[in-house]
């Protein structure tokens, strides 16, 4: 009897389990069917929504009637004119230049690597960011001829302009010109001048303040937009060349070093201008002084305009009698790129008279002997680690009256 009872209980349990499985199966089928019904309903609503879109758009704009056409690249002219600010009141030269741009492809490599137009509406931060771009690919997709960027930082007119035009003549392929003037100043030069339309978007400059170094970095950044520029020389309106273009080009392009004056001066005019507020980033043994009239290669130019950290310290704590233009770049290169710098300038200047400003030479001072003494200076220097007597390529300061005798001696003494 006991055995028969256990068998009955087992059969009853199996029957109960069978009913549970049947209930689970039916529940699954119900959920599955409900999902299908909901999906069909949703699909119907989505179809109705997308079918109604053309009607919605056609009620406002007749998009369906607009055929696809090849992009009209004549709009490039509009883009360039917007960037230049050219308008109907521009002179004939600007209109001719705008007409030339009509045939340019908006996305051509030429317009990117060799921008002809210097006008833009970028802020300094935007400009420095754009100029700091470095291609990872080493090969150039065009025939790159390395150029020298001549960057003029001026208070207005360029009294030595005819001498520079004579110096540049016939060498357009190897040079670029950039001019930073006071805002609103318009250079009056002929259309065939290398200075024509070469003013960069400028801002106010105050000598002895960080605004002066801002202008230097602004010149560098604008020149860096042309990927063919390999060397960058900063010049003033009182600077003149003392050798011909071929000599200058060969000297700079073939140099393994940049030319930035950078030295330690243990006086109140050097170390005395250092502020302990620059610690811990800039220490006293980092501090250097030098002439603001520098020459750098492309790598250092990118490094200078890309720096924000150290420049912000100079803006905050290098105030008169500390002058950022005499300390910022010499100190920065000494800290990080001293091995790439010759630690000398290629611009001759006479400090023998003493005082805060160098000597200025006028017409009466310009003789063949005087110019030769600059060209063949008594102090030898190193060029690519070899001694040489050719140390200076440029000289300053010269007054406007010096132009006439310099022009007279340019072919016989200066070589151009």
pLDDT at 76: 45
pLDDT at 202: 95
Strand (E) or helix (H) holding 161: helix 161-168
Q: What is the DSSP letter of 325?
A: H
CA distance 195 to 237: 13
pLDDT at 80: 42
Give the up-direction half-sphere exposure of residue 5: CA atoms within 13 A in the CB hemisphere.
2
Q: What is the DSSP letter of 276?
A: G
Of all residues in the chain, what percent carry a pLDDT higher than 90? 67
The parts of the chain modelled with pLDDT lower than 50 are 1-3, 7, 49-50, 53-69, 71, 73-89
Give the up-direction half-sphere exposure of residue 9: CA atoms within 13 A in the CB hemisphere.
6
pLDDT at 42: 57
Report the candidate in 188, 190, 189, 214 with the shortest Cα–Cα distance to residue 201: 214
pLDDT at 330: 98
Q: Under a CB-based contact definition with an 8 Å cutoff, are residues 366 and 405 in contact?
A: yes
pLDDT at 27: 72
Residue/partner pairs of 34-43 with CB below 8 Å, 24 or more apart: none
User: How large is the angle between the packed helices 324-336 and 210-224, nearest 10 degrees?
Assistant: 60
pLDDT at 379: 77
pTM metric for this prediction: 0.77
pLDDT at 284: 98
Characterize the bridge pairing of strands 229-236 and 147-153.
parallel
**Total number of residues shown for the chain:** 416
CA distance 193 to 149: 16
pLDDT at 74: 44
- Read off φ and ψ for residue 311, nearest 5 degrees: -65, -35
CA distance 299 to 131: 12
Determine whether 7 is exposed, middle or buried from the number of CB atoms within 10 Å of its CB (0-12, 13-18, 19+).
exposed
Non-local (6+) Cβ contacts of 222 within 8 A are 118, 127, 131, 178, 200, 201
> Is residue 405 classed as helix, strand or coil in its secondary structure?
helix
pLDDT at 16: 63
CA distance 23 to 17: 10
Report the candidate in 137, 335, 351, 161 with the shortest Cα–Cα distance to residue 237: 161
CA distance 113 to 119: 15
pLDDT at 115: 83
Q: Under a CB-based contact definition with an 8 Å cutoff, are residues 201 and 223 in contact?
A: no
């Amino acid at each position: 009897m006991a055995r028969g009872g256990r068998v009955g209980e087992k059969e009853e349990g199996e029957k109960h389990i069978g009913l549970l499985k049947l209930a689970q199966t039916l529940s699954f089928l119900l959920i599955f069917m409900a999902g299908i019904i909901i999906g069909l309903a949703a699909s119907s609503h989505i179809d109705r929504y997308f079918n109604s879109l053309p009607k919605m758009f056609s009620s406002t704009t007749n998009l369906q009637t607009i055929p696809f056409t090849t992009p009209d690249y004549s709009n490039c002219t509009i883009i360039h004119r917007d960037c230049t600010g050219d308008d109907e009141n521009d002179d004939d030269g600007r209109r001719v230049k705008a007409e030339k741009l009509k045939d340019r492809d908006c996305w051509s490599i030429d317009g990117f690597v060799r921008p002809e137009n210097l006008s833009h509406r970028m802020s300094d931060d935007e400009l420095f960011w754009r100029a700091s771009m470095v291609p990872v690919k080493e090969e150039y997709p065009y025939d790159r001829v390395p150029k020298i960027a001549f960057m003029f930082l001026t208070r207005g007119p360029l009294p030595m302009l005819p001498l520079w035009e004579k110096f540049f003549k016939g060498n357009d392929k190897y040079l670029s010109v950039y001019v930073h003037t006071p805002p609103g100043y318009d250079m009056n030069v002929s259309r065939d001048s290398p200075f024509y339309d070469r003013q960069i978007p400028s801002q106010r400059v105050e000598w002895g303040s960080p605004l002066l170094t801002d202008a230097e970095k602004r010149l560098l950044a604008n020149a860096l937009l042309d990927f063919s520029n390999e060397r960058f020389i900063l010049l003033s309106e009182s600077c003149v060349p003392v050798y011909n273009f071929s000599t200058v080009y060969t000297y700079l392009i073939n140099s393994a070093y940049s030319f930035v004056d950078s030295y330690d001066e243990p006086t109140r005019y050097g170390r005395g201008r250092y502020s302990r507020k620059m610690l811990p980033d800039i220490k006293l043994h980092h501090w250097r002084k030098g002439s603001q009239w520098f020459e750098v290669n492309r790598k250092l130019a990118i490094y200078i305009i890309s720096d924000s950290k150290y420049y912000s310290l100079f803006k905050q704590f290098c105030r008169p009698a500390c002058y950022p233009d005499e300390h910022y770049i010499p100190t920065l290169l000494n800290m990080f790129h001293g091995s790439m710098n010759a630690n000398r300038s290629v611009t001759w200047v006479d400090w023998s008279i003493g005082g805060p400003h160098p000597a200025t030479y006028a017409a009466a001072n310009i003789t063949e002997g005087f110019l030769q003494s600059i060209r063949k200076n008594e102090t030898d220097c190193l060029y690519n680690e070899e001694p040489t007597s050719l140390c200076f390529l440029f000289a300053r300061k010269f007054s406007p009256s010096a132009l006439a005798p310099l022009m007279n001696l340019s072919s016989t003494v200066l070589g151009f």
